[in-house]
Chain A
């Protein structure tokens, strides 16, 4: 029994081992580029080209009676701007575009899987870069808003531990969820190969791809954006002002 399962695993899922971690494509000295990074370049290039095309066609002919694509663009931009406005009052000009950019990169980087690339986010470096950006934003904005009072926050050692656990947990949440979706899809592709009924190998991946790829792409990009906003809001929150004494005196005098 034990040998049977081991044989099954070694025979069919041997290819899975190579897919869990990205493989290096280009290697020049210590400078290595793996396939996830190449997908990242492709995704960024495509996003920039789409943005340029939209800028030259839709935004140039901005109308008061909006067309469908204009409606979509307005909804997308105002969704991120509004949530940034609610959470980070004065810095929404900075945080709105950042969260939209990060969410677009995560979403499109994962959706690239449907075209046969390795997802750009399934590389721990990409996740750590995004989480590091958030980390920098949290602390610089905290200092900009609260000035010297921010140092009080670092006096407590527990706060420092919490601060450093933020980028790590964000990295592993993003990486783990995207990687798990990718591994499950790869497993399904391997299992489907052995099913040689006529239409089944076509239908099963088509049904399961939205569950493991589309869902994760949208949910994780949304979660990343709103987590960033929440942590920034926490960092720039001013302590509540104390009730001034003179008010009471004035009230007494009046009475």
Chain B
């Protein structure tokens, strides 16, 4: 048991940064789902009301930027983990 714990601790000490960077990159999951839902809804809205295309586009870009920012935070964290830590 103790051997296992030491092995695990050693593993974390040597490769923990890479694992952390990988986990941080998982933020892309949520951002991708959110962006997909937003785009799908925008397409639906455009199909229902084609004359409101301009307003829908600006709102969509706005929402996409918000959804994207979480993915960007994840990317920043993983970049910092790889190159700075």
Q: A residues within 8 A CB of B72?
A: 172-173, 176-177, 180
Q: Give every chain B residue within 8 A of A17 (Cβ-Cβ).
A: 83
A80 at interface, CB cutoff 8 A: no
Number of residues on chain A facing chain B (CB within 8 A): 18
Tell me the residues in window 31-85 of chain B with beta carbons closer than 8 Å to chain A beta carbons.
Answer: 58, 61-62, 65, 68-69, 72-73, 75-76, 79, 83
List the B side residues contacting A222 at CB < 8 Å.
Answer: 61
Main secondary structure of the interface of A (DSSP, over half): helix
Is A59 on the interface with B (CB-CB < 8 A)?
no
How far apart sit A175 and B72, CA to CA, in the bound complex (Å)? 9
How far is A227 from B58 in the complex, measured between Cα atoms in Å? Answer: 12
Given A20-B79, A20-B83, the answer on whether A172 and B73 have CB atoms closer than 8 Å is: yes
User: With A16-B83, A17-B83 known to touch, is A177 a contact of B68 (CB < 8 Å)?
Assistant: yes
The number of inter-chain residue pairs (CB within 8 angstroms) is 39
Chain B residues positioned under 8 Å from A179 (CB to CB)? 76, 79
B-side binding surface: helix, strand, loop or mixed?
helix
Report how far A53 CA is from B75 CA in the complex, Å: 41
Task: Give the distance to chain B from A212, nearest Cβ to Cβ, in Å.
Answer: 13
A226 touches B79 (CB 8 A): no
Interface size class of B (residues with CB under 8 A): 10 to 19
A219 interface hit (Cβ, 8 Å): yes
Determine if A185 is an interface residue (Cβ-Cβ < 8 Å).
no
Chain A proximity mask over B5-41: 1 for CB below 8 Å, otherwise 0? 0000000000000000000000000000000000000
Q: How far is the CA of A66 from the CA of B79 in the complex (A)?
A: 49
* Complex CA distance for A223 and B61, rounded to whole angstroms: 8
> Provided the pairs A20-B79, A176-B75, A176-B76 are in contact, do residues A226 and B68 lie with their beta carbons within 8 angstroms?
no
| A226 touching B58, Cβ below 8 Å | yes
Q: Mark A161-173, 1 if CB is under 8 A from B, else 0.
A: 0000000010011
A183 lies within 8 A of chain B by Cβ: yes
Complex formed: what's the CA distance from A223 to B69 in Å? 11
Complex partner residue of A223 from B62, B75, B79, B83, CB under 8 angstroms: B62
> Considering the chains assembled together, what is the distance between the CA atoms of A179 and B69 in angstroms?
13
Q: Whole-angstrom distance between the alpha carbons of A219 and B66 in the complex?
A: 12
Some 16 contacts from A to B, beta carbons below 8 A apart, are A20-B79, A20-B83, A172-B72, A172-B76, A173-B65, A173-B69, A176-B75, A179-B76, A179-B79, A180-B72, A180-B76, A222-B61, A223-B62, A226-B58, A226-B62, A227-B62
4 closest Cβ pairs, A-B complex:
A176-B72, A223-B65, A173-B69, A176-B76
B-side residues, CB < 8 A to A, are 58, 61-62, 65, 68-69, 72-73, 75-76, 79, 83
